[in-house]
Amino acid sequence: MRFYKKEGRRFPWRNANDPYVILVSELLLQKTTAAQVVKVLDEFLRRWPSVADLALADLGDIEKTIGELGLRKRARFLKEIAAKILTDYGGKVPRGEDLTGLKGVGIYTSNAVRCFAFGERVPVVDANVARVLRRYFGISGKKPAYADRELWELAGVILPARGYKEFNYGLLDVSAKYCRPKPFCNRCPLEPHCSYAIKHSKERW
């Protein structure tokens, strides 16, 4: 949490409180870099500032707006999700586990919206956070992050009582900045207590 306050990345969706903005951002971020999403998000929200606007949007226009992100099927997902929210939830992004009932929304996206939009105390574990947790705690495993229930349970256990939004952002940013596939352990704030860093430090000596 100290790391995030001092060195955390700043993105437009991190300043948002609107669940629609955060849901759209998380869907756009799937298999896409944050830098790419930054390029298209403002235009996307300018054209479709609400669930209703997106539900009524022309599919071709959505595809053009987010085209540089790749994955053309994502435009259809966005429109279908907006239509379902409009018809089934009165145009309001659902809370809690109802989010996973939306097409294209898995546990990661669901928990990201629950935590960052609704302030729920839930873990957020993508492939990068999974790498941090496995290295830090010395856990072996190659399951995809979404399928590793034990890792999700661990991530839930270590959540602080307060500040869990900053905690989750901090894990995401540590993975992006230091705990990469080829890590920078000597610069990482988790290094003094990280099982991976300690092990490899001993190997070097």
pLDDT at 179: 97
Known catalytic membership, residue 108: yes
Could you tell me the domains of the chain?
Answer: 2-116 (1.10.340.30), 127-204 (1.10.1670.10)
Considering 4, 20, 26, 178, which one is annotated as catalytic?
26
- Residue 10, pLDDT > 70, answer yes
pLDDT at 57: 97
pLDDT at 195: 97
pLDDT digits (tens, 9 = 90+) for 84-105: 999 999 999 999 888 998 988 9
Known catalytic membership, residue 97: no
Q: Label residue 65 by pLDDT band (50, 70, 90).
A: very high
Known catalytic membership, residue 26: yes
Q: Label residue 120 by pLDDT band (50, 70, 90).
A: very high
pLDDT at 68: 86
pLDDT at 205: 45
Q: Give the percent of the chain with pLDDT over 90.
A: 88
pLDDT digits (tens, 9 = 90+) for 130-180: 999 999 999 998 899 999 999 999 999 999 999 999 999 999 999 999 999
**From residue 51, how far is each of 23, 79, 93, 107, 195 by CA, in Å?**
10, 9, 8, 21, 45
Considering 4, 20, 108, 136, which one is annotated as catalytic?
108
Considering 18, 42, 63, 126, which one is annotated as catalytic?
126
- Residue 46, pLDDT > 60, answer yes
Average model confidence (pLDDT) across the chain: 94
